Amino acid sequence: MRQDPHITLFGFPIRFELFFWIVMALGAISYQTKLSFMLIYCFVFAFSILVHELGHAFMYRRYGSTARISLHGLGGATFGSAQPARQAIAVGAAGSLAQIILLALPAYFLRELLPLGAPVELHFFLYRLYWVSLFWGVLNLLPIWPLDGGHILENILILRTGKVMRKEVHAVSIVAVFAGLIIGGAYGYSIGWFLPLALIAGNGYFLYKIQQDQMTPDTSMIVSFNPRLDGDGGYVPDIPTRTATKQKRRGRKKDHLQVVAPVALSGPEAIEAAYDALEAGDKRSARGRVRDIAAKTTDREVAAAAREVLAWSWLRDGEPTRARQQLDASMTHSAALDAGFTFGSGSFADGVRAMAAALAQEENMRVVFQGSALVCEKGFGAKLADALLALPDGFGAAMQLHGVMLAVGARDDATALMNRLMG
């Protein structure tokens, strides 16, 4: 179903979902009895959250990405191209900083300057604008996933460790909620203030555990600085081996064992790491991450996902025949991969049309990236953009395509696409 924006502000498409208005109206009715105060409450609520999301959107634009905004439920969301960790931190913090600096602080000082005889509605407006903006801004900076603070923490850990540590982020989220309950209780605040946060954090961790429990664990070894290459051209992790050199110690000969410490990666973690490698252009490393999983796991869903990664890696290396050999006819794969086979076989026009149709319906952003990158690397990114924008539901995939164009260095195509998206 096509999700058309209701308005465009500063070049950003903005959509207001029905549930956003319902929640806002219920809040106004619950806290206010006077009609004028209800209307002010609704305006302040919507305006403050919109400024928050615009903060994210402008930071996305600062880093060369388009952005679109959706206001829904208790808040909103801003969608843009995937960013490196440092830029993602800046994008995550920009929303709260915009609310606090542009709304909360000016509202506080203006209210202090109001004369006593000023209309009560004006006092109420500035009071609500201050508290809603301050509360919402600070709340979103708490390290609770999936709030902005949770995403910021996740990207800080990526910078420090080089790994996605979603489990640890969820654990911090739950600890933060309990700490809030204790501190809030000590100051006399009702548990109702923290219950929504507890539900958000708990539900996020619960879903994470379900995902992990459904996958078969696998072990991946740390790749050394000088990894060997196997016959398929993929990286082979170093494993414990006995060297030909023997050392004498206390008169006895002992085999010297060289070991590279293992790091346990579950099936989905290894697949995510492989997609990270693909997006960085390291196709060999991606294959090394998932080859054993594809062959050995007993979970057919994980095996199918691993085989799809292998197929994408060979497609982007220009070897469609080898890519097809990675698939199992009894397992499903994405329609975008089928389109990739058409494109990779040299039927570029048909492949672009098929890829646009597939990406417009694809929900997995990793797959959207791979399909877009395959086409862009062959110089057909502009054609894919034309095909996507001609589809009624191709706008979201076109936004993702813009980020891929930047990632593969097609900056002229990216600029032209941004102008079309903003127009």
pLDDT of residue 253: 41
Q: In this predicted model, what pLDDT tens digit does every residue of 365-375 receive, in sequence order?
A: 788 889 999 99
pLDDT of residue 291: 84
Task: Convert 383-401 to b/e letters by CB count within 10 Å (16 or more is b).
Answer: bbbbbbbebeebbbbbbbb
Q: In this predicted model, what pLDDT tens digit does every residue of 45-79 receive, in sequence order?
A: 889 999 999 999 999 888 888 888 888 767 788 88
Q: In this predicted model, what pLDDT tens digit does every residue of 242-295 receive, in sequence order?
A: 333 334 444 444 433 333 333 445 677 788 888 888 877 788 888 888 888 888
Mean pLDDT over 345-353 rounds to: 91
Mean pLDDT over 79-93 rounds to: 82
pLDDT of residue 335: 92
pLDDT of residue 96: 93
Q: How many CB atoms lie within 10 A of CB 289?
A: 31
pLDDT of residue 307: 92
pLDDT of residue 94: 92
Q: 50 or 82: which carries more pLDDT confidence? A: 50
For the cut 90, the answer to whether the pLDDT of residue 311 exceeds it is yes
Q: What are phi and psi of 75, to 5 degrees?
A: -170, -130
* pLDDT > 70 fraction of the chain, expressed in percent and rounded: 76
pLDDT of residue 101: 95
For the cut 90, the answer to whether the pLDDT of residue 423 exceeds it is no
Q: How many CB atoms lie within 10 A of CB 403?
A: 23
Q: In this predicted model, what pLDDT tens digit does every residue of 397-411 receive, in sequence order?
A: 887 787 788 777 777
pLDDT of residue 231: 31
**Minimal CA–CA distance to 274: which of 296, 298, 293, 295?**
293
For the cut 60, the answer to whether the pLDDT of residue 236 exceeds it is no
pLDDT of residue 82: 65
pLDDT of residue 192: 54
Q: In this predicted model, what pLDDT tens digit does every residue of 119-142 receive, in sequence order?
A: 888 888 898 899 889 988 988 888
pLDDT of residue 228: 27
For the cut 70, the answer to whether the pLDDT of residue 5 exceeds it is no
Q: 205 or 4: which carries more pLDDT confidence? A: 4
CB 353 within 8 A of CB 369: no
CB 18 within 8 A of CB 410: no
Distance of alpha carbon 10 from alpha carbon 121, whole angstroms: 29
CA dihedral 61, 67, 69, 75 (to 10 degrees): -70
**Chain mean position to CA 422:** 22
pLDDT of residue 387: 92
Q: In this predicted model, what pLDDT tens digit does every residue of 14-25 receive, in sequence order?
A: 888 887 888 788
pLDDT band at 190 (very low <50, low <70, confident <90, very high): low
Q: 85 or 91: which carries more pLDDT confidence? A: 91
Mean pLDDT over 342-370 rounds to: 89
Could you tell me which residues are beta bridge partners of residue 69?
Answer: 14, 78
Q: How many CB atoms lie within 10 A of CB 407?
A: 18
DSSP secondary structure code for residue 334 in this structure: -
**Chain mean position to CA 149:** 14
